[in-house]
Amino acid sequence: MPVEHSGHQGGPCGKRVGEEGWRLGWSVPGMARREEQAEGDNHLSLAGNERRPALVASLGTLGLWLQQDMADSAQAQKLVYLVTGGCGFLGEHVVRMLLQQEPRLRELRIFDLHLGPWLEELKTGPVQVTAIQGDVTQAHEVAAAVAGAHVVIHTAGLVDVFGKASPETIHEVNVQGTKNVIEACVQTGTQFLVYTSSMEVVGPNIKGHPFYRGNEDTPYEAVHRHPYPSSKARAEQLVLEANGRKVRGGLPLVTCALRPTGIYGEGHQIMRDIYYQGLRLGGRLFRAIPASVEHGRVYVGNVAWMHVLVARELQQRPALMGGQVYFCYDKSPYKSYEDFNMEFLGPCGLRLVGTRPLLPYWLLMLLAALNALLQWLLRPLLLYAPLLNPYTLAMANTTFTVSTNKAQRHFGYEPLFSWEESRTRTIRWMQAMDSSAQ
Ligand SMILES: NC(=O)c1ccc[n+]([C@@H]2O[C@H](COP(=O)([O-])OP(=O)(O)OC[C@H]3O[C@@H](n4cnc5c(N)ncnc54)[C@H](O)[C@@H]3O)[C@@H](O)[C@H]2O)c1
Ligand SMILES: C[C@@H](CO)CCC[C@@H](C)[C@H]1CC[C@H]2[C@@H]3[C@H](O)C=C4C[C@@H](O)CC[C@]4(C)[C@H]3CC[C@]12C
């Protein structure tokens, strides 16, 4: 069961486009709808040109419309957005979703410790895309990036439940980094802040209590010992407490937090690791968790869409949405962590062996504890960071699922991608990844 993070191997996952294929082909259903609408408008104006007697009057009206249209779009394209962590798994989807779905965007700033080469392709579009290499733990770098932005979407974070980084570093990035973002908004006069929180600010808790299809108001004993959930919980609290603070110029800061459950989709590193692990095991994975343990999952495109929508609607309904938290949800089915992964790994040729866990839970716990010990012993020599440790085992083995419509009620959220689409896109990405490895 203990596995290390993957090396690269080819596998039976199909032969399609190269690894970057999902990036090049990136589009959303809403985009198609906007194109259809534009075509519809063209038909209308052509039909108008055919009616000769009314031509002079129509041209005059057309001129007025055009002027109005140009004025509208000049007026419309006025907002500056900043996405921190914009080159991460979720951040990249948020960036692309904003470019496709936020017509009022004038400039999009992407702030990240590591900038991706794919940013270059975005710079040729109508929106000014500004890539900023920077560190959220450096207050002056954050302030410089935030200055002049209308909206900040703060997704940057250190996501580590495997013991790769020290607790101090996790705290520094996730808590101090978030403090820096809040202070930058206050000092420079940015009024809207959306924070990417996590289901883990709620649970699962260290006692292993199930959270079965709960919502934002479900009582749950949130107890954190692990540095990652503790840091996310503290950062979320800071963001929510900052709601209503006066920013430079005197207007109130409006903040809210989105709490995704386990995100999946194109670019998901852990899915990649599990896939390569399965290949190393001869195309098999061995069931470790009972199928009855439900683990909440949400498609990355829908999480990105929720960020775009919440950022937009926060400006329209600050009184309702300011200081609120929203779970991220869609129509992904409720399943165990392993069964859910098989929705994608299965079509890529992997098999989950066993209808029940193959090892007793006490043995898994022992292996997880052994991994933790090995990590500690080997730390001076090398980084040993397997997927299985006492914390990840507890996460995978505790029911935590969400059932809510708060986002729909507060800001009209509906998932942009159906479950079938989310599944297909994720499978295609895995197949592309596999063919590029061969
Ligand atoms: N992946 C999930 O399942 C999941 C679930 C719930 C919440 N989240 C949250 O979503 C956010 C994004 O997670 P992700 O899965 O995309 O992770 P990721 O590691 O892919 O992305 C995080 C990004 O933040 C950047 N970053 C890290 N430290 C930074 C620093 N000091 N300064 C500037 N940038 C820095 C990284 O370079 C990276 O691009 C995180 O805040 C995470 O806590 C993730
Ligand atoms: C016990 C193993 C047998 O197959 C499986 C171990 C799986 C774990 C590595 C993952 C189980 C649950 C995952 C977490 C969850 O989906 C939610 C998260 C919240 C987010 O904020 C960060 C990622 C994560 C902690 C995610 C990490 C991987 C798991 C622990």
pLDDT of residue 224: 86
- Residue 49 banded pLDDT, cuts 50, 70, 90: very low
Confidence check: pLDDT of 120 > 60: yes
CB-ligand 1 contact for 112 (6 Å cutoff)? yes
Residue 88: half-sphere exposure toward Cβ, Cα within 13 Å: 19
CA of 349 to the centre of ligand 1 (A): 29
Mutate to test the pocket of ligand 1, among 83, 84, 87, 89 (most ligand atoms within 8 A of CB): 89
pLDDT of residue 418: 98
Using a cut of 0.95, tell me whether the model's pTM lies above it: no
Distance CA 76, CA 179 (A): 31
Ligand 2 atom showing the smallest separation from residue 393 Cα: 1
Instruction: Report all structural domains of the chain as residue ranges with CATH numbers, in order of start.
Output: 79-437 (3.40.50.720)
- What the block records as the tokens of 4 is 């290390």
pLDDT of residue 256: 98
- What the block records as the tokens of 345 is 């790994």
pLDDT of residue 40: 32
Ligand 1 atom showing the smallest separation from residue 270 Cα: 1
- What the block records as the tokens of 24 is 């090049």
Contact 104, 151 (CB under 8 A): no
CB-ligand 1 contact for 174 (6 Å cutoff)? no
pLDDT of residue 59: 43
pLDDT, tens digit, for every residue of 182-200?
A: 999 999 999 999 999 999 9
CA of 269 to the centre of ligand 2 (A): 11
pLDDT mean over 342-351: 96
Where residue 214 falls (left for φ over 0; alpha for ψ -120 to 50; beta otherwise) is beta
pLDDT of residue 362: 96
pLDDT, tens digit, for every residue of 364-413?
A: 999 999 999 999 999 999 999 999 999 999 999 999 999 999 999 999 99
Name the DSSP letter for residue 358.
S
Contact 81, 105 (CB under 8 A): yes
Higher per-residue pLDDT: 364 or 32: 364
Candidates 139, 234, 164; CA nearest to 195 is 234
CB-ligand 1 contact for 90 (6 Å cutoff)? yes
Confidence check: pLDDT of 253 > 90: yes
pLDDT mean over 102-120: 96
Nearest ligand to the CA atom of 173 = 1
Take atom 26 of ligand 2 and give the residue whose Cα is closest.
262
Take atom 12 of ligand 2 and give the residue whose Cα is closest.
396
Ligand 2 atom showing the smallest separation from residue 364 Cα: 1
Q: Of 81, 195, 228, 337, which residue is the catalytic one? A: 228
Do the strands 79-84 and 105-112 form a parallel or antiparallel pair, or are they unpaired? Answer: parallel
Contact 419, 331 (CB under 8 A): yes
Ligand 2 atom showing the smallest separation from residue 262 Cα: 16
Take atom 28 of ligand 2 and give the residue whose Cα is closest.
392
pLDDT of residue 25: 46
Residue with tokens 């006692």: 207
CB-ligand 1 contact for 114 (6 Å cutoff)? yes
| Residue 256 β-bridge partners | 194, 324
How deeply is 200 buried, as exposed, middle or buried, from its count of CB atoms within 10 A (0-12, 13-18, 19+)? buried
CB-ligand 1 contact for 386 (6 Å cutoff)? no
Distance CA 395, CA 351 (A): 22
CA of 73 to the centre of ligand 2 (A): 44
Active-site annotation holds for 228: yes
Residue with tokens 């199930």: 210
Confidence check: pLDDT of 55 > 90: no
Tell me how far apart the 2 most distant CA atoms of the chain are, in Å: 88
Q: Name the helix (H) or strand (E) containing 252.
A: none
- Residue 53 banded pLDDT, cuts 50, 70, 90: very low
Take atom 22 of ligand 1 and give the residue whose Cα is closest.
88
Distance CA 378, CA 305 (A): 42
CA of 162 to the centre of ligand 2 (A): 9
Average per-residue pLDDT for the chain:
86
Ligand 1 atom showing the smallest separation from residue 87 Cα: 39
- Residue 433 banded pLDDT, cuts 50, 70, 90: confident
CB-ligand 1 contact for 253 (6 Å cutoff)? no
CB-ligand 1 contact for 177 (6 Å cutoff)? yes
CA of 161 to the centre of ligand 2 (A): 8
Residues in the ligand 2 pocket, defined by CB under 6 Å: 159, 161, 198-200, 262, 270, 288-289, 295, 337-338, 387-388, 392-393, 395-396
Distance CA 250, CA 239 (A): 18
CA of 247 to the centre of ligand 2 (A): 37
- Residue 76 banded pLDDT, cuts 50, 70, 90: low
Candidates 224, 192, 173; CA nearest to 323 is 192
Q: Do the interacting molecules here have an ipTM over 0.90?
A: yes
Distance CA 261, CA 340 (A): 13
Contact 202, 222 (CB under 8 A): yes
Q: Report H helices in 135-176.
A: 139-146, 167-171
Q: What number of residues does the chain have?
A: 438
CA of 82 to the centre of ligand 1 (A): 15
Distance CA 140, CA 158 (A): 20
Distance CA 60, CA 65 (A): 9
Residue 392: CB partners within 8 Å, gap ≥ 6? 161, 162, 368
Candidates 63, 88, 25; CA nearest to 428 is 25
pLDDT, tens digit, for every residue of 267-320?
A: 999 999 999 999 999 999 999 999 999 999 999 999 999 999 999 999 999 999
pLDDT of residue 5: 36
Helix (H, G, I), strand (E, B) or coil at 27: coil
